[in-house]
Structures are given as structure tokens and as C-alpha cells.
């Protein structure tokens, strides 16, 4: 099971992961997924305790997971941050705790960074820029930021990827992928969290985040969408120095969105800023289809002229026109208490999953009915979306990754809006956009376009029908008509049959060795053999003994696995 983890480095990292899990009271998980047994067979001993220290065990489960992820390093911190966006998989208390994950890492000294920086810039930073600060202004798990000034006096930020971080991430991703496969196979109660799918999403997201040039392309794409909007600022990218490991952008001279005292000192209107921020996100989601997936206060700045500046586009979500319309219908149905519209959208998202549609519909109707008669200004979109995702979890439904990012972004935005202005009404801010999209969906032009597309599709189907039937009949006539059926539950049965056949074969071989060796030894004892025959008989008995031990161990291990 663990042949893919044969390298010494991966094995050592695997032991470290197991040790951290045990330290925080997850020793039972280590045993259940077979991690302890795999390490012991590789010669690495683990001391499994019932739990960690008393001070650790007093923490809640989400807190213990958060501490374990922080101890395991940058890759696992990023995994926790991705999990914090999966509102469809984890309950609100887990989302809140994991949302506070921060990697406490020291900055890389400039001497260790200089060779990579000079290779990316093409020269020493002191010669490329008029001034360069060797001490970073911020350090994170994947990168650190240095301030510099161009020769025309423009201040810029250099976001430099940590040397060697890609190799560390690659090794951890290999382990996480294999661990997710084993958890899904060996721990049925953890299977509902879709570990393989979550790690697959995380793998793709982290690889994108390691490419700083891609981050800059995301920034420019959003900047183009707001080129005519004087309320929005996206820092300029300096492409002459930007590459996969280095991001050079203009420095944003603004007030951090989290610093309420500084916002008031700058004379900014907090209510107006909250409305502007909501309007910007609504445009990204419902008009542009590309949105900043992590609009937390650390990534937003307010300029003294009232503009909103966005930074850090490493995590960007994409919403297709179809998904955009579905999100609008879902929110419209929630706001205006139309349960059938909400049910239709959620069943579309189920996409053939094994779900009890009648029970899901009844739960949705009960959920929507509790808001009937509630004034629009008293509705809380974040609360409603949180309850919808809780309903999805209860029915075992999983959102598409970008949709989970979108819901998390809307929840973050509402929290930021209420932080700026306690009277901020996210529902009222979203209402014009929802009504506009619903009108566009049912406008005469949109109906005509959908009718034309349906007609063209039907005509294409009719045109292709004779050819498809001819191919089907030709295949049937020549005996080439095939049907493919996959029954995954038979795979385990096949493995058991294969294992039993191996044991039976080994048993026959052992019996043959015993009988053959007995005949040989008997001929020696009556004086008809020689010492070579005696040696052959002894070898046969030893082989039979080893084979018998193998059979007993195989039976014992299969019993333990059951």
C-alpha cells in the first residue's frame, strides 16, 4: 500500500505527520488509516497514545486541527485555508477556526535570497532599483515582500517566492494525495468529507498560487473589467521583472480595511465604503464572471479619495454564465421566499448524486418558509447562505469548488461590510443585481436566443440521427456492440478471491514440498541416498516451513484488516 512512499525523505515526513497527529490527540486516526502499521513495517516506531497532553485535549477539535496544521508547515496551513472555504463540507465553527490559520514563519535572510532575486531581476536589486529595502515588510509561508523605489520615484512591492519552497510543496502534495486515497478507502465516517476531491482541488489551487506570473495575469484581467470604474484600483504590474518566482507591483498607499480608527481619521465614509465594496464584488460575480476569492480585510485598502484597492490575486474564482444564472436564481429565491426556485438550483447542483429529492425538497420548503413575512431589511444573506450549506452537508451534497469559493467570498464580504457599518444590508446591496439578472433571463431577447439555441440543437440531433442509427446497426450486425458496466463493490471481492487463490496455491506448494522432502529423507534413512539428497530434503523442509509461516501471517493480517 505504501510502495509509492519509498523515498527516505517522504518516509521521514510521513513519520513527522503521524507524530504531530498523535501529539494533538488523533492517534486513533493514525491507526485506523493504517499509517502506524506502514511506518512500523518500514522500521519506524510510533508510540501511539490515547491522546495528547491535557492542555491540548482541553481544546476543541477544530482548534486541535488548526494547531496540528500550523505545526506541519506551509503546505498544511494552505490546506487549512482551502478547507476554510468549503462551507459545503464543514460546519460554521470549523470554518471560523480554520479561517484564522496563519503561518508563523521567519523571513528568509537577504543573503539566502539574493542569488534567486538576481537571477529573476537580471541584476542586483540595488542596481535595478533606485532604492531597495533588504528587510522585508511582510513574510508568509510561500513568499515575502520587500519594498523598493523605481528611478522615477514610484514605490513598488517585490513579492519573492521562498527558495526551495516548490520542492517542499511537491513532496507534501504527494503525501497528501496518497493519504486522502487511504482515508477515503479505510475510514468510512471520514469519506463524507470527500478527502480525494478536496486534495485534488487543493493541489490545483496551490500550484496556481506558486506561480506569481499567473497571479499578475489575474490582477490584470480584473483591472481591465474595472478600467472605466473610478472607484476601483488594482496595482499596476511591472512585467519587465515579473516571473513565476517574482511579482513586482505598484505599492498601494492606503488605509487597511481592518483599521477602523485609521479609516475614521482619514475622514472616510464607512457606510459608503461598505456599499462600494459590495457593488464591486457583485459586478465581479454577476457581470464579469471572475472574482477575487479572498476579499478579507488584509487584501483590501481604502484610499483617501474613497477608492477601493484590491491586492493578492493568488486565489481567483470563475463563474460560468450558467453558474452565474444559477447563483442569481438561488439568491433570488432565498430573498423572495420562492422555495421551488431554490430546490431547482440545488437539484441541478446535485448532478445525479444519490440524494432523496423529496426529502431535500421538503427541507428546502421548511427552510424558506421560516423567512416568509420577514422584512427585506431584516434578512441576513450570510445567515441564509450558511443554513443552505448546512442543508447541503446533511444531504451529502458537494458544491463545485468555484461555487464554494463564491459563497465564502460573499460571507466574508458581509462580515467586512458589517464591520465597517453595523447597519450594512447585504441583501439590499444584492437586490438590484439579482433583479437585473432575472430580467435579463426572461427578456424577449434572451428568450429568443434560448429558443434559437434549442431549435438549432434539435435540428443537429435530427440531422445526426440517421448516421448514428446506421453506425449502431452496423456494430450490432458485426457483433461489435459492447456495453460497459462498472461495479465498484466487486473490486474488494475480487481482491479477496485473488488473495485466497494465492494462499491456496502456496498451500499446495508447501504440501508438495513436505511430501517430496519426506520421501527424499526416507530414502536417505534406509541407506539408499547420499548427503546431497539429505541436503535437498532439508532445503525442502525449510522452504515448506517458510511457506507455512507466510500463509499464517497472511491469514492473521487479513483478520486484523476486517
- How do beta strands 155-161 and 290-292 pair? unpaired
pLDDT tens-digit series, residues 50-105: 455 556 767 888 888 888 888 888 888 888 887 887 777 778 888 888 877 765 56
Question: What pLDDT sits at residue 1?
Answer: 45
Question: What pLDDT sits at residue 415?
Answer: 83
CA distance 110 to 161: 12
Question: What pLDDT sits at residue 233?
Answer: 93
> Residue 147 in 3-state DSSP?
strand
Among candidate residues 120, 203, 279, 294, the one labeled active-site is 294
CA distance 218 to 208: 11
- C-alpha to C-alpha distances, 148 to 114, 118, 123, nearest whole angstrom: 15, 14, 14
Question: What pLDDT sits at residue 241?
Answer: 94
Question: What pLDDT sits at residue 489?
Answer: 54
In 3D space, the residue among 536, 534, 546, 535 whose CA is nearest the CA of residue 509 turns out to be 546
- Identify whether the C-beta of residue 381 lies closer than 8 Å to the C-beta of residue 410: yes
Please compute Rg for the chain using Cα positions.
31
CA distance 313 to 315: 5
pLDDT tens-digit series, residues 459-480: 777 787 788 787 777 777 776 6
Q: Which helix (H) or strand (E) holds 302?
A: strand 300-302
- Reading the block at residue 168, the C-alpha cell is 517542499
Question: What pLDDT sits at residue 448?
Answer: 73
Q: What are phi and psi of 138, to 5 degrees?
A: -160, 150
CA distance 330 to 338: 9
Question: What pLDDT sits at residue 2?
Answer: 44
- How do beta strands 246-250 and 155-161 pair? antiparallel
> Residue 289 in 3-state DSSP?
coil
Give, as one character, the DSSP assignment of residue 287: I
pLDDT tens-digit series, residues 415-442: 888 888 888 888 888 888 888 877 776 6
Indicate yes or no: pTM above 0.85. Answer: no
- Reading the block at residue 491, the C-alpha cell is 473490486
The list of the chain residues with pLDDT below 70 reads: 1-11, 32-55, 57, 102-105, 189, 192, 350-354, 374-378, 441-443, 446-447, 449-450, 479-496, 523-531, 533, 556-562
Question: What pLDDT sits at residue 6?
Answer: 42
- Reading the block at residue 12, the C-alpha cell is 521521514
| 228 annotated active-site | no
Name 232's bridge partners: 308
Amino acid at each position: 500500500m505504501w510502495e509509492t512512499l519509498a523515498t527516505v525523505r517522504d518516509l521521514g515526513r510521513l513519520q513527522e505527520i503521524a507524530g504531530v497527529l498523535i501529539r494533538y490527540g488523533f492517534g486513533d486516526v493514525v491507526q485506523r488509516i493504517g499509517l502506524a502499521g506502514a511506518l512500523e513495517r518500514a522500521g519506524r516506531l510510533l508510540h501511539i497514545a490515547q491522546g495528547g497532553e491535557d492542555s491540548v485535549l482541553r481544546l476543541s477539535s477544530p482548534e486541535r486541527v488548526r494547531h496540528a496544521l500550523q505545526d506541519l508547515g506551509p503546505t498544511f496551513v494552505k490546506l487549512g485555508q482551502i478547507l476554510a472555504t468549503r462551507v459545503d463540507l464543514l460546519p460554521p465553527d470549523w470554518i471560523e477556526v480554520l479561517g484564522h490559520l496563519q503561518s508563523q514563519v521567519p523571513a528568509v535572510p537577504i543573503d539566502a535570497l539574493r542569488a534567486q532575486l538576481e537571477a529573476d531581476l537580471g541584476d542586483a536589486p540595488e542596481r535595478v532599483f533606485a532604492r531597495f529595502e533588504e528587510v522585508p515588510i511582510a513574510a508568509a509561508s510561500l513568499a515575502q515582500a520587500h519594498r523598493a523605489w523605481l528611478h522615477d520615484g514610484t514605490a513598488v512591492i517585490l513579492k519573492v517566492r521562498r527558495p526551495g519552497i516548490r520542492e517542499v510543496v511537491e513532496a507534501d502534495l504527494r503525501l497528501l494525495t496518497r493519504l486522502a486515497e487511504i482515508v477515503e478507502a479505510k475510514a468510512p465516517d471520514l469519506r463524507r468529507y470527500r478527502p480525494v476531491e478536496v486534495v485534488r482541488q487543493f493541489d490545483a489551487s496551490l500550484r496556481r498560487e506558486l506561480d506569481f506570473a499567473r497571479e499578475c495575469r489575474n490582477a490584470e484581467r480584473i483591472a481591465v473589467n474595472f478600467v472605466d470604474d473610478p472607484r476601483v484600483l488594482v496595482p499596476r504590474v511591472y512585467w519587465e521583472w515579473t516571473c513565476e518566482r517574482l511579482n513586482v507591483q505598484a505599492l498601494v498607499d492606503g488605509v487597511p480595511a481592518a483599521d477602523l480608527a485609521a479609516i475614521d481619521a482619514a475622514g472616510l465614509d464607512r457606510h459608503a465604503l461598505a456599499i462600494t465594496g459590495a457593488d464591486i464584488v457583485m459586478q465581479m460575480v454577476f457581470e464579469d464572471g471572475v472574482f477575487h476569492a479572498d476579499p478579507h480585510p488584509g487584501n483590501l485598502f481604502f484610499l483617501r479619495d474613497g477608492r477601493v484597492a484590491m491586492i493578492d490575486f493568488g486565489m481567483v474564482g470563475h463563474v460560468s454564465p450558467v453558474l452565474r444564472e444559477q447563483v442569481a436564481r438561488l439568491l433570488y429565491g432565498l430573498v423572495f421566499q420562492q422555495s421551488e426556485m431554490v430546490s431547482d438550483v440545488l437539484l441541478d447542483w446535485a448532478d445525479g448524486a444519490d440524494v432523496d429529492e423529496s426529502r431535500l425538497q421538503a427541507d428546502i420548503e421548511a427552510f424558506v418558509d421560516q423567512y416568509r413575512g420577514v422584512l427585506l431589511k431584516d434578512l441576513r444573506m450570510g445567515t441564509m447562505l450558511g443554513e443552505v450549506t448546512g442543508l447541503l452537508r446533511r444531504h451529502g451534497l458537494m458544491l463545485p469548488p468555484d461555487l464554494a469559493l463564491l459563497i465564502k467570498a460573499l460571507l466574508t464580504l458581509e462580515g467586512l461590510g458589517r464591520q465597517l457599518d453595523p447597519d450594512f444590508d447585504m441583501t439590499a446591496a444584492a437586490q438590484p443585481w439579482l433583479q437585473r439578472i432575472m430580467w435579463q433571463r426572461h427578456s424577449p431577447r434572451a428568450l429568443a436566443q434560448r429558443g434559437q439555441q434549442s431549435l438549432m440543437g434539435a435540428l443537429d440531433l435530427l440531422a445526426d440521427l440517421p448516421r448514428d442509427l446506421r453506425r449502431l446497426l452496423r456494430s450490432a450486425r458485426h457483433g461489435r456492440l459492447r456495453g460497459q458496466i462498472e461495479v465498484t463493490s466487486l473490486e474488494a471481492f475480487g481482491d479477496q478471491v485473488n488473495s485466497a487463490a494465492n494462499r491456496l496455491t502456496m498451500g499446495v506448494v508447501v504440501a508438495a514440498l513436505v511430501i517430496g522432502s519426506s520421501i527424499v529423507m526416507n530414502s536417505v534413512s534406509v541407506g539408499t541416498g547420499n548427503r546431497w539428497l539429505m541436503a535437498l530434503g532439508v532445503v525442502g523442509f525449510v522452504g515448506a516451513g517458510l511457506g507455512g509461516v507466510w500463509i499464517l501471517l497472511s491469514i492473521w493480517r487479513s483478520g486484523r484488516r476486517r
